[in-house]
A = this chain, B = another copy of it.
Amino acid sequence: MNAADLGLPVAVPSTALFTDRYELTMLQAALRAGTADRRSVFEVFTRRLPEGRRYGVVGGTGRVLDAIENFRFDADVLAFLAEQGIVDEPTRAWLADYRFRGDVWGYPEGEVYFPGSPIMRVEGTFAEAVLLETVILSILNHDSAVAAAASRMSVAAGGRPLIEMGARRTHELAAVAAARAAYVGGFATTSDLAAGFRYNIPTVGTSAHAFTLLHDSERDAFTAQVDSLGSGTTLLVDTFDVTEAVRMAVDIAGPGLGAVRIDSGDLLLLAHRVRQQLDDLGAVKTKIVVTSDLDEYAIASLAAAPVDAYGVGTQLVTGSGHPTCSMVYKLVARADDGGADAPLRPVAKKSMGGKTSIGGRKWAARRLDASGIAEAEVVGTGPVPEVLADRQLLVELVRGGEVVAREPLDAARDRHAAARAGLPMSATQLSRGEAVLPTEYLTHDV
Q: Type the 1/0 row for A40-62, where 1 means its CB is closer than 8 Å to any CB of B.
A: 10100000000000000000000
Is A241 in contact with chain B by the CB < 8 A criterion? yes
Q: For chain A, which range describes its interface: under 10, 10 to 19, 20 to 34, or 35 or more residues?
A: 35 or more
Choose from B38, B135, B172, B227 the contact partner of A29 (Cβ within 8 Å): B227
> Measured between alpha carbons, how far is A319 from B323 in the docked complex, in Å?
10
> Measured between alpha carbons, how far is A334 from B193 in the docked complex, in Å?
27
Is A425 in contact with chain B by the CB < 8 A criterion? no
B-chain residues with CB within 8 Å of residue A350 when the two chains form the complex: 239-241
Of the candidates A169, A197, A214, the one having the most CB atoms from chain B within 10 angstroms of its own CB is A214
By beta carbon, the residue of chain B nearest A347 is: B213
Is A417 in contact with chain B by the CB < 8 A criterion? no
B-chain residues with CB within 8 Å of residue A31 when the two chains form the complex: 228
User: Given A29-B225, A203-B84, A24–B193 Cβ distance below 8 Å?
Assistant: yes
Is A301 in contact with chain B by the CB < 8 A criterion? no
Q: Which of A261-300 contact B (CB under 8 A)?
A: 263-266, 292
Q: Which of A165-183 contact B (CB under 8 A)?
A: 165, 167-178
Verify B20–A197 contact, CB threshold 8 A: no
User: Given A20-B192, A26-B208, A203-B86, A3–B1 Cβ distance below 8 Å?
Assistant: yes
Stretch at the interface among A7-15, A111-119, A250-258, A374-382: A7-15
Is A107 in contact with chain B by the CB < 8 A criterion? no
Verify B336–A216 contact, CB threshold 8 A: yes
Q: How far is the CB of A130 from chain B (nearest CB, A)?
A: 6
Is A109 in contact with chain B by the CB < 8 A criterion? no
Stretch at the interface among A138-146, A386-394, A396-404, A407-415: A138-146
Q: How far is the CB of A62 from chain B (nearest CB, A)?
A: 14
User: Given A215-B33, A292-B353, A9–B17 Cβ distance below 8 Å?
Assistant: yes
Copies of this chain, complex-wide, total 2
User: Given A18-B9, A35-B224, A215-B33, A169–B194 Cβ distance below 8 Å?
Assistant: no
Verify A171–B241 contact, CB threshold 8 A: no
By beta carbon, the residue of chain B nearest A127 is: B214
Verify A209–B331 contact, CB threshold 8 A: yes
B-chain residues with CB within 8 Å of residue A20 when the two chains form the complex: 165, 167-168, 191-193, 205
Verify B172–A353 contact, CB threshold 8 A: no
B-chain residues with CB within 8 Å of residue A143 when the two chains form the complex: 171
Verify B18–A13 contact, CB threshold 8 A: no
Is A19 in contact with chain B by the CB < 8 A criterion? yes
Is A123 in contact with chain B by the CB < 8 A criterion? no
Verify B172–A334 contact, CB threshold 8 A: no
Verify B205–A24 contact, CB threshold 8 A: yes
Of the candidates A67, A84, A169, A354, the one having the most CB atoms from chain B within 10 angstroms of its own CB is A169
B-chain residues with CB within 8 Å of residue A18 when the two chains form the complex: 9, 167, 172-173, 175-176, 192-194
Is A206 in contact with chain B by the CB < 8 A criterion? yes
Choose from B32, B75, B84, B314 the contact partner of A228 (Cβ within 8 Å): B32
Of the candidates A20, A88, A264, A292, the one having the most CB atoms from chain B within 10 angstroms of its own CB is A20
> Measured between alpha carbons, how far is A6 from B353 in the docked complex, in Å?
44
Choose from B172, B220, B352 the contact partner of A135 (Cβ within 8 Å): B172
By beta carbon, the residue of chain B nearest A318 is: B323
Verify A177–B171 contact, CB threshold 8 A: yes
B-chain residues with CB within 8 Å of residue A14 when the two chains form the complex: 8-9
Q: How far is the CB of A270 from chain B (nearest CB, A)?
A: 9
Is A324 in contact with chain B by the CB < 8 A criterion? yes
Choose from B207, B324, B330 the contact partner of A169 (Cβ within 8 Å): B324
B-chain residues with CB within 8 Å of residue A172 when the two chains form the complex: 15, 18, 67, 134-135, 138-139, 142
The 26 listed contacts between A and B (C-beta, < 8 Å) are: A4-B76, A8-B12, A9-B17, A18-B193, A18-B194, A20-B193, A20-B205, A21-B191, A22-B208, A23-B208, A24-B205, A25-B205, A25-B229, A26-B208, A26-B211, A30-B211, A40-B210, A84-B203, A138-B170, A138-B172, A142-B171, A173-B174, A209-B349, A212-B349, A216-B336, A266-B353
A-B pairs, 4 with minimum CB distance: A21-B205, A22-B205, A33-B224, A137-B168
